[in-house]
Amino acid sequence: MATVRKALPRRLVGLATLRAVSTSSVGTFPKRVKIVEVGPRDGLQNEKNIVPTPVKIKLIDMLSEAGLPVVEATSFVSPKWVPQMADHAEVLKGIQKFPGINYPVLTPNFKGFQAAVAAGAKEVAIFGAASELFTKKNINCSIDESLQRFDEILKAARAASISVRGYVSCVLGCPYEGKISPAKVAEVTKKLYSMGCYEISLGDTIGVGTPGAMKDMLSAVLHEVPVTALAVHCHDTYGQALANTLTALQMGVSVVDSSVAGLGGCPYAQGASGNLATEDLVYMLTGLGIQTGVNLQKLLEAGAFICQALNRRTNSKVAQATCKL
Amino acid sequence: MGNVPCAVKQCLSYQQLLREHLWIGDSVAGALEPAQESAQLSGFPEYVKIVEVGPRDGLQNEKVIVPTDIKIEFINQLSQTGLSVIEVTSFVSSRWIPQVAAGATEVSVFGAASESFSKKNINCSIEESMKKFEEVVKSARHMNIPARGYVSCALGCPYEGNITLQKVTEVSKRLYGMGCYEISLGDTIGVGTPGSMKKMLESVMKEIPPRALAVHCHDTYGQALANILTALQMGINVVDSAVSGLGGCPYAKGASGNVATEDLIYMLNGLGVNTGVNLYKVMEAGDFICKAVNKTTNSKVAQASFNA
C-alpha cells in the first residue's frame, strides 16, 4: 500500500522567497490560433530520404483536408542545394488548392521567385537571420546585404499582388554566434516588416530557447512590430518548443509554425529532433479551448502516411500515444 | 507514476513480493548548493526542488529487468548530481514496519482522484484507501518519519476520463490533513494541458499552500513541460521527473511516460531558476542507464548532445 524510502538527513533548504506570482498572465490566450504547417517544406527538407512527388502531393492534400489554414508547399531553391525540393514546380502545380487555404513557397532569390510565380504561387516566403555569422556562413554576405537582395522580390511581389512572409532565423540563439541579442532580432524583424512582409515568423532555429528568452525576445520585437504580424517557429531540439510556444501565446502571438509528425531533424545537432509536432501543438491548443480549425484525427492520418512513406517513426507524442506506433 | 497502481497491487500480496525481485533501495539526499542570486524572470520561483523518480517510476515501467548492481550504480551516479531527492522504491506489504525499522526514513502513500482507478488498481474505494493511509502516515509520524502523498489522475483518468476539481482537491486535502508534508499531483496519463493544470491548481491551492505541493507530469502527449511551466507560474516549486524520461505508459502502448529530468533542468536553467543540480552529470547518469537497459533516451537534450 505504501512505498518506503530511506532518506539521509536532509539539509533544510530554505525554500527561497517566491517572487510575487501573477496568475493573470497564465490564463490570457488568443481565442484563435493560425497554424502554419511547414512539414512539406521545412520538415521534408531535413529528412534524409527523398520523397517521390506524388507522395508529397498526397501529403499536402491530406494536410489541407485536415483543415490547416496554411500549408507551406515547397521551396524554389536550386536542386543542387536542396535535392529534396527539386520537384517544386510539379508539387505546386499538382496539389489541390482548397479554397481558403494558403500555400506559400520559399523563394531564396529572384530567380526562384520568378519560377514560383510561373508555377502559380500566390504567396512566397523569404529568409533573414538575426545572426551575422549565420548569414555569412550560409549565403556569404551580411544581414543587410541579404535583405537588399530581397528588395527585387518584394517589389515584384507587390506589383503582382503576391503576399510575402518573412522568416528570421536564430532568434533565440545561433549555432555559430551563440547568444543573440533581442535588439538585433527586433531590428531585422522591423526591416522585413517595413519592406512589406505581412507576417514575420521568428525562428528558434536550433531550439536552444527557453521561455524566459522567448519572453525577452518578443518584448523587444513587440516594440517595433505589432503582435498581429508575428509568428513563432520553435524547434524542439531540446524539448522546449511547446513551453516556448505557450509563452509566445501568453504574450499575444496567435500564429504558430509547426510540422506534422515533427518532421525534420536538425542540421546542427546530429540525431537531434527538429520541428515542433503539429499534432502535439493542436492537442495543447484544443485543451486550452483555442480554435484552430484543425481536425486532429485527419492530421494524425497525414502524419502516419508520411512516416510510413519515409520509413521512420513519428516525432509526435500524441501520435505515439494514439496510433501505438 | 503511471505504473504505481501495479506496484501497489503487487505489494498487497506478500507471496508476490517474495517472488518478485524485490530490492530495497535508498533514497539518497545529495548535497544542496545554497540558493544563488540569479537573474530571473518575475513570476517564477527562485528555487525548484526536483524529485527524481527514475529509479522507481521510470525503471519499473521499462520492460527490461535491470540487475541490482546496475540499479545501484545508477543511483550512485544520480547522487553525485546534486539532486536532493531520488526516489527508489521498496515495495512493502502491510507489514512494513520491520522495513522501516531496517532504516527507511520516508514513506510515500499513493492515492487517486478517481474511484475507478482506485478500485481497479488497489481494489478499494478512495475512502477505504484513505483510511489505510491514515494508519500508515500516523505510524510514520510517531516514528518521526515524513510522509509524502501522491494523487494519481489529477488531470484525467484512463477509465473515467474527466476528473472533477472537487475530487482532486478533496483527496489532496485529505492526504495533507492526515500529515503528508507534500502532495504530488500526478497527471498519470499525461492528458493535461496548461488550462486544465491551471484550473486544478487553483482549486487545490484554496486548501493547500503551494509550498506543500508538487507536480508530477507525464509526457504521454508531449504536454509535460508546458504544464510544468504553468505550475511554476502559479507558485509551485517542486517538480517530479525521471532521468532520460524513463518509463512508458501502461495505458497507451508505445507512448512515453515521465518527463525527462534533463529537459526539465534545461528549461529551469534557461529561466534562471536554481535547482542545485548539475545537468551534465544527470546526462551522464542518463547515458549510463540507457546503455544498460539498451534503449534510446527519451530526453531531447540528451538526443541533441550525445549524437544518438
Between B234, B272, B274, which is nearest A21 by CB?
B234
The nearest CA of chain B is from the CA of A157 a distance in Å of 39
- Whether the per-residue pLDDT at A192 is higher than 50: the answer is yes
**Is residue A8 one of the residues assigned to a domain?**
no
> Within a domain: residue A28?
no
pLDDT at residue B23, as a whole number? 23
Which residues from chain A sit within 8 angstroms of residue B99, using beta carbons? 4
Is residue B57 within 8 Å of B1, Cβ to Cβ? yes
Q: How far is CA A295 from CA A98, A133, A262, B27, B130, in A?
A: 15, 41, 17, 46, 42
Residue A21: predicted pLDDT: 38
Q: Which of A150-154, A208-212, A232-236, B106-110 has the lowest mean pLDDT?
A: B106-110
CA distance B47 to B79: 19
CB within 8 Å of B61: residues ≥ 6 apart = B2, B3, B246, B247, B248, B249, B250, B257
Helix (H, G, I), strand (E, B) or coil at B92: coil
CB-based contact (8 Å) between A20 and chain B? yes
pLDDT recorded at residue A24: 46
Q: In chain B, positions 85-104, which contact chain A (CB-CB < 8 Å)?
A: 85, 87-92, 94, 96, 99-100, 103-104
Lowest pLDDT segment from A10-19, A212-221, B127-136: A10-19
Q: Which amino acid is at B44?
A: F
CA atoms within 13 A on the CB side of A212: 16
Domain hosting residue A261, numbered range: 34-322
A3–B108 CB contact, under 8 Å: yes
State residue B199's pLDDT score. 97
pLDDT computed for residue B227 by the predictor: 98
Angle at B204 between CA A289 and CA B248, to 5 degrees: 70
Q: In angstroms, what separates the C-alpha of A64 from chain B's closest C-alpha?
A: 23
Query: Which amino acid belongs to residue B170?
Result: E
Do A7 and B27 lie within an 8 Å CB cutoff?
Answer: yes
Closest alpha carbon within chain B to A20: B43
Distance from CA of B23 to the nearest CA of A (A): 12
Distance CA A263, CA A240 (A): 16
CA angle A227, A202, A266 (to 5 degrees): 155
Where does residue B33 rank: exposed (0-12), middle (13-18), buried (19+ CB within 10 A)? Answer: middle
Catalytic-labelled residue, pool B11, B157, B249, B290: B249
CATH of residue A109: 3.20.20.70
| Residue B175: all three cell numbers together | 492526504
Q: For residue B133, which residues of chain A lie inside 8 Å, CB to CB?
A: 1-2
Q: Which region holds residue A193: left if phi is over 0, alpha if psi is between -120 and 50, else beta?
A: alpha
In this prediction, residues A29-54 reach a mean pLDDT of 94
Question: Which amino acid, B138?
Answer: K
Q: A15 in a domain, yes or no?
A: no
Q: Residue A58, Cβ neighbours under 10 Å: how many? A: 17
C-beta atoms surrounding A219 within 10 Å: 12
A142-151, A157-166, B100-109: least confident range: B100-109
B249:A321 CB<8 A = yes
A164, B46, B186 from A200: Cα distances, Å = 9, 34, 38
Q: Which of B106, B110, B234 is opposite residue A5, by nearest beta carbon?
A: B106
Catalytic residue among A170, A197, A234, A266: A266
CB pair distance less than 8 Å for B43 and A6: no
Per-residue pLDDT of chain B in tens (308 residues, 90 and over written 9) = 332 233 323 222 333 322 332 222 222 222 222 333 333 446 899 999 999 999 888 887 777 788 889 999 999 999 999 999 998 865 444 445 544 555 666 888 999 999 999 998 888 999 999 999 999 999 988 888 899 999 999 999 999 999 999 999 999 999 999 999 999 999 999 999 999 999 999 999 999 999 999 999 999 999 999 999 999 999 999 999 999 999 877 776 667 789 999 999 999 999 999 999 999 999 999 999 999 988 899 999 999 987 53
- What are the distances in angstroms from CA A323 to CA A299, A300, B170? 12, 8, 35
DSSP secondary structure code for residue A40 in this structure: I
Please name the residues between 260 and 299 in chain B that touch chain A, using a CB distance below 8 Å: 260, 263, 266-267, 269-272, 274, 276, 299
Per-residue pLDDT, B254: 66
Q: Which of residues 49-88 of B touch A (CB under 8 A)?
A: 49, 56, 84-85, 87-88
CA distance A224 to chain B (A): 22
Per DSSP, the three-state class of A187 is helix
**Average pLDDT of the residues in A86-95:** 97
Q: Which candidate from A1, A19, A280 shows the least CB-CB separation from B222?
A: A280
Give the N- to C-terminal CA distance of chain B in Å, as an integer: 27
Q: Write out residues 202-241 of B within 8 Å (CB-CB) of A.
A: 202, 210-211, 219-223, 225-226, 228-230, 233-235, 237
Q: How far apart are CA B171 and CA A213, in angstroms?
A: 37
**Cβ count within 10 A of residue B127:** 11
Tell me if residue A234 is catalytic.
Answer: no
Please state the rounded mean pLDDT for residues A21-32.
68
The pairs formed by A302-308 with CB atoms below 8 angstroms and a separation of 24 or more are: A302/A59, A302/A62, A302/A63, A302/A65, A302/A66, A302/A260, A303/A260, A303/A261, A303/A277, A303/A278, A303/A279, A305/A58, A305/A59, A305/A62, A306/A39, A306/A51, A306/A55, A306/A59, A306/A260, A306/A261, A306/A263, A307/A261
Q: List A129's β-bridge partners, or say none.
A: A169
Q: Which residues, at least 6 apart from B85, have a Cβ–Cβ distance to it below 8 Å?
A: A7, A10, B27, B29, B49, B50, B51, B52
Phi, psi of B109 (to 5 degrees): -120, 140
Beta pairing, strands B238-241 & B182-187: unpaired
- Closest in A6, A25, A324 to B233, CB measured: A25
Average pLDDT, chain A: 90
Q: Does the beta-carbon distance from B105 to A6 stay under 8 Å?
A: yes
Nearest to B262 by CA among B219, B212, B215, B201: B219
Angle at A285 between CA A98 and CA A324, to 5 degrees: 85
Q: Whole-angstrom Cα distance, residue A186 to residue A173?
A: 14
pLDDT at position A195 over 90: yes
- Spell out a b/e string for B155-168, using b for 16 or more CB atoms within 10 Å of the CB, else e: bbbbeeeebebebb
Q: Are A240 and B225 in contact (CB under 8 A)?
A: yes
Q: Crossing angle for the helix pair A143-159 and A182-195, nearest 10 degrees?
A: 30
* A17, part of any domain: no
Task: Give me the number of domains chain A comprises.
Answer: 1
Which residue of chain B comes nearest to A235, CA vs CA?
Answer: B300
Q: Is A23:B42 a contact under the CB 8 Å cutoff?
A: no
Mean pLDDT of A4-28: 41
Say if A23 falls within a structural domain. Answer: no
Closest by Cβ to A19, choosing from B28, B42, B104: B42
Q: Cβ contact (<8 Å) for B303 and A18?
A: no
Residue A16 in any domain: the answer is: no
Size (chain B), residues? 308
| A202 found inside a domain | yes
Residues in chain A, overall count: 325
Residues 165-224 of A with CB under 8 A from B: 207, 209-213, 215
Question: Looking at residue B40, what is its pLDDT?
Answer: 44
B239 CB contacts (<8 Å, ≥6 apart)? Answer: B48, B49, B50, B51, B214, B215, B216, B217, B228, B231, B232, B264
Q: Is residue A4 assigned to a domain? A: no
Helix (H, G, I), strand (E, B) or coil at B31: coil
